[in-house]
Amino acid sequence: MTTLYVRFLLPPMYEAALPRLIALLGEFSPTVEALPPDAALVDLGGAVRYFGRDAVELAAVIRVRALALYGVECVIGAGPGPMLARMAARTATPGVTRVVPGDPGAVAEFLAGQPVAALPGVGAATARTLCEYGLDTLDRVAAAPQGTLQRLTTARIGRELHEKARGVDRTRVTPNAATRSTAAERPFPRDELDPYRHRRALLSLADELGARLRDGKQVCRSLTLTVRYADRSTTTRSRTLPEPTAHTTALSTAAYRMYEALGLQRARVRALGLRAEGLRPVEGSARQLTFDPADEKARALEAVADRARARFGPGAIVPGRLAA
């Protein structure tokens, strides 16, 4: 199996272009897994035989088409599986595809000497624990007994570390995988100084994301706010929600608090973006009952508004502050 990891170098807050880029990848292989906000995995097993080209040649065509059609450059890594393709992309540069050959010797040579934190799925805490015992590179982790790794971490993590450090990757590209995040952005016609207009944009973003999540029967676990300024610099803040939700009021409240924490004074804001992350099905997600009549009324009105929008269009009902 040959896999490509494609990371699109999207401008800040332009994650909305990702679906079109995913569709472009779908012209080369039906097995494409979107990795929002800016990447995707592509299984080229059948495409290599169909087009009569190897992974590097197909990657070059993908790069040229993404740049010609959408003005987006990309960084591409290729390997025998998703894990090695991801790791290869970290050392790739625009215009050059980094390839990890499929034979075991080449895989071992690629992994040797790399820090343990470079392994996908290894967090800061696990990496710190391994480094404390001298297991700071992947070749040292591969040489360690599996039992030792399991004692230092857990049975599952130790087993996965032992396999991945030796280049064994059991993951597969999952086509049409459930989206793990969704984003929206609001550019201003001109650089905006008015905090009131900033808050109106945040309410509009929360309303759009909430309706999108409820329509897909999903809830989100966290929000990320991105502010782009007149000089093209950006500020990003994230907040974990008290509970998974798709309730517009909860989303807008979290967005307001992140915005207020920035302490912007006379900042010339060019655009605001909001991304809902950690999406999961609404079934099985718990909600704390408040016994607050106002909250229950707001949720009931929200359900009515959703039904009206489904019948008459997304602009049929909007919050009062956005009606003007």
Q: Please report the pLDDT score of residue 318 as a whole number.
A: 74
| pLDDT per residue as tens, the chain (324 positions) | 689 999 999 875 566 677 889 999 999 999 999 887 789 999 998 888 889 999 999 999 999 999 999 899 999 999 999 999 999 998 888 889 999 998 888 999 999 888 998 888 788 888 899 999 999 899 999 999 999 999 998 898 899 999 999 989 888 898 866 567 788 889 999 999 999 999 999 999 999 899 889 888 899 999 999 999 998 888 989 999 989 999 988 999 999 999 999 988 888 999 999 999 888 888 866 666 666 677 777 778 788 777 887 777 767 777 777 766
Residue 213 in contact with residue 268, Cβ under 8 Å?
no
H helix intervals, the chain: 18-26, 45-51, 55-70, 82-90, 104-111, 124-132, 138-143, 146-152, 155-164, 195-215, 248-261, 293-312
Q: How far is CA 284 from CA 85, 124, 241, 246, 289, in A?
A: 34, 29, 17, 14, 15
Residue 111 in contact with residue 139, Cβ under 8 Å?
yes
Q: Please report the pLDDT score of residue 14 as a whole number.
A: 65
Q: Please report the pLDDT score of residue 17 as a whole number.
A: 75
Q: How many CB atoms lie within 10 A of CB 275?
A: 23
Long-range contacts for 153-156 (Cβ within 8 Å, ≥24 apart)?
153/126, 153/129
Q: Cβ neighbours of residue 216 under 8 Å, at least 6 residues apart?
A: none
Q: Tell me which H or E stretch contains 33.
A: strand 32-35
Q: How far is CA 45 from CA 7, 49, 65, 85, 102, in A?
A: 19, 7, 20, 14, 13
Q: Please report the pLDDT score of residue 217 as a whole number.
A: 87
Q: Tell me which H or E stretch contains 244.
A: strand 234-245
Q: Please report the pLDDT score of residue 254 as a whole number.
A: 94
Kindly report the backbone phi and psi dihedral angles of residue 98, in degrees, each rounded to the nearest multiple of 5, phi listed first.
-90, 125
Angle value at C-alpha 30, between 24 and 35, nearest 5 degrees: 65
pTM score: 0.65
Beta bridge partners of 254: none
Kindly report the backbone phi and psi dihedral angles of residue 206, in degrees, each rounded to the nearest multiple of 5, phi listed first.
-65, -40
